[in-house]
Amino acid sequence: MRKNGRFRFFRQFFTIAVTAAMLVFLSVPGTFAGQIKELKIAIGVDADTLNPQEQTTTLFQNICDLIFDGMYFQDPQGKLHPRLLEKHTISDDGLTWTLHIRKGVKFSDGLPLNADVIKQTWDRVLNPKLRVPLRFAISMVKGCEKVDDHTVKLNMKYPFAPFDATISMALVSPISPAAIEKYGDDVRQHPVGAGPYKLKEWVKGDRIVLARNENYWGKAPTVDQLTFKIVPEATTREAMLRTGQIDVCYKPLPSNVASLKKLSNVTVDMPLDTRTIFMGLNCLKGATTNKKVRQAFNYAIDKKAIVNRILFNTAQPMDGPVSPKVFGYAKMDYQYDYNPEKAKQLLKEAKFDFSKTINMRTPNGRYLFDKQVAEVVQAQLQAIGVKVELRTYDWPTYVAGLLKPIEETELEVFLLGWGPLFLDADMALYGQFTSEVNPPKGLGSSFYTNAAYDEIMKESRKAQDPNKRFDLLKEASSIIWEDCPWIWLHVEKFVLAYSSNIKGMVVTPTEKFYPNHITME
Amino acid sequence: MNDTAINTKDNNTDTTQDLVTSGSRSWAKLKRNKAALVGGLFLLIYIGCAFGAPLLFKGNPSAPDLFNSLRPPCAEHWLGTDELGRSILGRILYGARISLMIAVGVVGVGLLIGVPVGLISGYYGGKTDFVIQRFTDMFLAFPGFLLALALVAILGVGLKNTVISIGISMIPLYVRLVRGCVLTVREEVYVEAARASGTKDHYIIIRHILPNVLAPITVHTSLSMGTAILFAAGLGFLGIGVQPPTPEWGSMLGSARAYMMGTPHVATFPGVAIFFAVLSFNLLGDGLRDAFDPRSKI
């Protein structure tokens, strides 16, 4: 009898305890089934700034997107989704863009996002006194005017058809005016935006922690906290993923991708990137001014072997002058397949001076196995009788060399990468090959100059009809493909490895990933 | 006057004889030092590889063969192939030449500049010594590798600049070492006698002082060669030393880092080569130091 009484007491106590625990669990705000407390992401470097207007590195533009949200979001297929903007309208002449701002949006500090804030953002981006390294991307905007509380008007210097994709960049994401007032330039250390997350903690050289923004206007993220852990060595990042210390490994080494793919607890996503890697050939000075020489160099390089053997298939040989991921890409009718005999023949026809040594330069460690790729190109050019001397440079010195005008430039053959920041061919075809972007004005370091080409590209910017625009971009691509201002090498892939129990990770061709709505099994 | 001159000459002959005797005593000590002998043996193998590279390895060590990349050691490629399909054995053998060239070049720069400056500083003393030593202090304030790194940044990359940069970073050590030795030697009676007899300074420095500071210079040179190889490998590893496709051990190691997980042999063999080359110079240097030290009894 006494035994039964004790049993009953324990049963009642257990029932009450479980019920109380469940009530406590359910009463915690925002904590519900499927909610993930923390996602640990290992990245290679720390951020210099988290001011979206100042940021040039894709990884930190990615973090800015999470803190600030964009005007639009361009999905991996290139489709634009409204975010801080609901829609836009364009005048017939293409010189006025009217932006309709989403109503009811608040910054994480509670301030409302309205037309005044958007105007202030454009004024800041266009203000030459402020440091905005990517200002060239919106250089077609003359100014911004407020129409009403939720509408602004942008006046353009010239029509620019892919402008809607352009404003999906973090470059024009609004910062809370209160934060700007409070911190001034130092807002780069204290970012306050209207995105799904807000900055919780930033320990320099160690971690950046983002917490869910309770004021977010959109669908609440499924992950409460994103911890970006700074781990410079890629092999260490990989080891941490293998052992479960982190959930996401940013850019593992291509040489280890195959072994990571074999692991049952790891998923490797590697969408094709927008970034093309090429060997620029100086079209105005030196040994590569002759088109036949440039074509010969293209035939001399075994791009497929480079992709297979050096890059472990984390890239794809170029078959057109832009990445297949961007609007305006078209596979070219003929390819420069590896053909050393044809290359020799073309050099002969061009009366190439084999006694001269060509200078080749490459950065070391900026792009995937850049030095190794350059070494192969050097060896394969030497195999057709061309004398080549290769030099490696650190990145700042290298970039300084790219910006010198034709009178001063020492560039002959140089390895470089070019990755459009949104999925459109304009940034590559206009930003690299029109005479307008020849250094020092731009980064078209091949000094390609062709008036007919310039005309087509200008026409393409005016064309509002996507079909017409596509045809123009294709025509421009064909011209450039034949003229070979580059040795067309490969299109990189963006490699992201993460725990296989993560589902729903959005990985884009612009080297960004969004874990906002993932689920974990 | 004449007597003094004769006496000085006798003294000089005695010094030479002393040197010969102490030289043979040191050689006997060195022969008994097993570690130094092993170091010497490694060094002979290393020099043999450097000079015999074209005989030991047929083919071009810099020519890529992409379809044979990252192969493990096999009958065809004894130490396997690197990421571009080049024989690691071939590159290590030819790399020995580059390393030896750098080591000799670097100590050459150090010796040619450091020793005369150290001799002058120690012999003349006074203001000359003060000025030279403050400059030396300035250079010594930087860690050697950091100084070499800064100099490469100023001079630019490449084999020649690597040698010059590391060489310059070695100069202050030679200056300080030689000066210290000279300070002792210049007070010796035979130097005083030579000076009293009116012998010119440069003659005294070359004939009386230099031979007596040669032992520490030899030891330091041997140890410096090891350091030079290590510094050059460090610069190569960082990608700012000898330029590709030249087979340099440090840059081989630097490139191989990315393949450590799947194909560790690519990084292992250049690492082993650097290890043994540096070890050989260090063991020999230690042995020489013991051999030249009159207090050591081996």
CATH number of the domain at B99, please: 1.10.3720.10
Determine the pLDDT at residue B4: 43
Chain B residues with CB-CB distance to A357 below 8 A: none
Q: How far is CA B68 from CA A64, A175, A491, B81, B87, in A?
A: 44, 53, 24, 7, 9
A184 lies in some domain: no
B15–A contact, CB cutoff 8 A: no
B125 lies in some domain: yes
Chain B residues with CB-CB distance to A375 below 8 A: 64, 84, 244-245
One-letter amino acid for residue A343 of the chain: A
Q: How far is CA B118 from the centre of its chain?
A: 17
> Distance from B242 to chain A by nearest Cα, in Å?
9
- By C-alpha distance, the chain B residue nearest A396 is B153
Determine the pLDDT at residue A23: 47
Residues A360 and A506 in one domain: no
Q: Does the CA dihedral A23-A27-A33-A37 come out positive or negative?
A: negative
Q: Does the CA dihedral B22-B28-B31-B32 come out positive or negative?
A: negative
B6 lies in some domain: no
Whether residue A440 is preceded by a cis peptide bond, meaning omega within 30 degrees of 0, is yes
Residues A90 and A220 in one domain: no
Interval A502-507 mean pLDDT: 95
- Return the closest-CA partner of residue A163 out of A265, A263, A95: A95
- Return the closest-CA partner of residue A150 out of A179, A177, A112: A112
Mean pLDDT rounded to a whole number for chain B:
89
Residues A266 and A130 in one domain: no
The pTM of this model reads: 0.83
Query: Looking at the 3D structure of chain A, how many domains does it have?
Result: 3
Percent over 70 (pLDDT), chain B: 91
**b/e sequence A473-502, b meaning 16+ C-beta within 10 Å:** bbbbbbbbbebbbbbbbbbbbbbbbbbeeb
Structural domain boundaries, residue A346:
273-493
- By C-alpha distance, the chain B residue nearest A309 is B66
The residue among A113, A145, A175 that closes a domain is A175
Q: At what angle do helices B2-32 and B189-196 cross, to 10 degrees?
A: 150
Query: Looking at the 3D structure of chain B, how many domains does it have?
Result: 1
Interval B207-229 mean pLDDT: 92
Q: Which of residues 181-220 of B touch A (CB under 8 A)?
A: none
Q: How far is CA B10 from the centre of its chain?
A: 35
CB B81, CB B69: distance < 8 Å: yes
Q: What is the CATH number of the domain that holds A106?
A: 3.90.76.10
pLDDT digits (tens, 9 = 90+) for A228-275: 999 988 899 999 999 999 999 999 999 999 999 999 999 999 999 999
- At residue A367's C-alpha, the angle toward residues A366 and A370, to 5°, is 100
- Number of neighbouring beta carbons within 10 Å of residue A31: 11
CB A233, CB A457: distance < 8 Å: no
- Return the closest-CA partner of residue A79 out of A468, A473, A517, A466: A466
Determine the pLDDT at residue B176: 96
Mean pLDDT rounded to a whole number for chain A:
92
pLDDT digits (tens, 9 = 90+) for B42-86: 999 999 999 999 999 998 999 999 999 999 999 999 999 999 999
Residues A262 and A343 in one domain: no
Interface contacts (A, B; CB < 8 Å): 70
- Return the closest-CA partner of residue B166 out of B67, B261, B233: B233
Residues A438 and A330 in one domain: yes
pLDDT digits (tens, 9 = 90+) for A131-150: 888 888 898 999 999 999 99
Interval B205-228 mean pLDDT: 92
Listed in sequence order, the residues at least 6 apart from B279 whose beta carbon sits closer than 8 Å to its beta carbon are B39, B42, B226
Percent over 90 (pLDDT), chain A: 83
> Distance from B89 to chain A by nearest Cα, in Å?
19
Q: What is the CATH number of the domain that holds A465?
A: 3.10.105.10
In which residue are the tokens 């206007």 written?
Answer: A217
Residues A499 and A481 in one domain: no
Indicate if the pLDDT at residue A26 is higher than 50. Answer: no
> Distance from A335 to chain B by nearest Cα, in Å?
21
Interval A352-380 mean pLDDT: 93
Q: How far apart are CA A490 and CA A212, in angstroms?
A: 38
B256 lies in some domain: yes
- Return the closest-CA partner of residue A427 out of A136, A172, A154, A168: A136
Indicate if the pLDDT at residue B198 is higher than 70. Answer: yes
User: Any alpha helices (H) in A50-152, and if so which ranges?
Assistant: 58-68, 115-126
Determine the pLDDT at residue B156: 85
Residues A247 and A285 in one domain: no
CB B266, CB B70: distance < 8 Å: yes
Partner residue opposite B240 with nearest CB, options A310, A379, A394: A394
With bands split at pLDDT 50, 70 and 90, how would you rate the model's confidence at B1? Answer: very low
Determine the pLDDT at residue A6: 60
Percent over 90 (pLDDT), chain B: 71
Q: What is the CATH number of the domain that holds A254?
A: 3.40.190.10
Residues A265 and A278 in one domain: no
B146 lies in some domain: yes
The kind and range of the H/E element at A144 are: strand A141-148
Structural domain boundaries, residue B269:
77-282
Chain B residues with CB-CB distance to A44 below 8 A: none
Partner residue opposite A255 with nearest CB, options B239, B244, B259: B259
Determine the pLDDT at residue B8: 46
A396 lies in some domain: yes
- By C-alpha distance, the chain B residue nearest A234 is B258
Q: Which of residues 55-74 of B touch A (CB under 8 A)?
A: 62-64, 66-67, 69
Residues A303 and A375 in one domain: yes
Q: Which residues of chain A approach chain B closer than 8 Å at the C-beta?
A: 234-235, 238, 253-256, 258-259, 302, 305-306, 308-310, 364-365, 369, 371-372, 374-376, 378-379, 390-394
Lowest average pLDDT, out of A17-21, A368-372, B85-89, goes to: A17-21
Listed in sequence order, the residues at least 6 apart from A217 whose beta carbon sits closer than 8 Å to its beta carbon are A102, A104, A105, A106, A194
Indicate if the pLDDT at residue A24 is higher than 50. Answer: no
With bands split at pLDDT 50, 70 and 90, how would you rate the model's confidence at B3? Answer: very low
Residues A472 and A502 in one domain: no
Partner residue opposite B258 with nearest CB, options A255, A374, A379: A255
> Distance from B199 to chain A by nearest Cα, in Å?
53
Residues A403 and A414 in one domain: yes
Partner residue opposite B84 with nearest CB, options A375, A390, A393: A375
Q: How far apart are CA B5 and CA B14, in angstroms?
A: 14
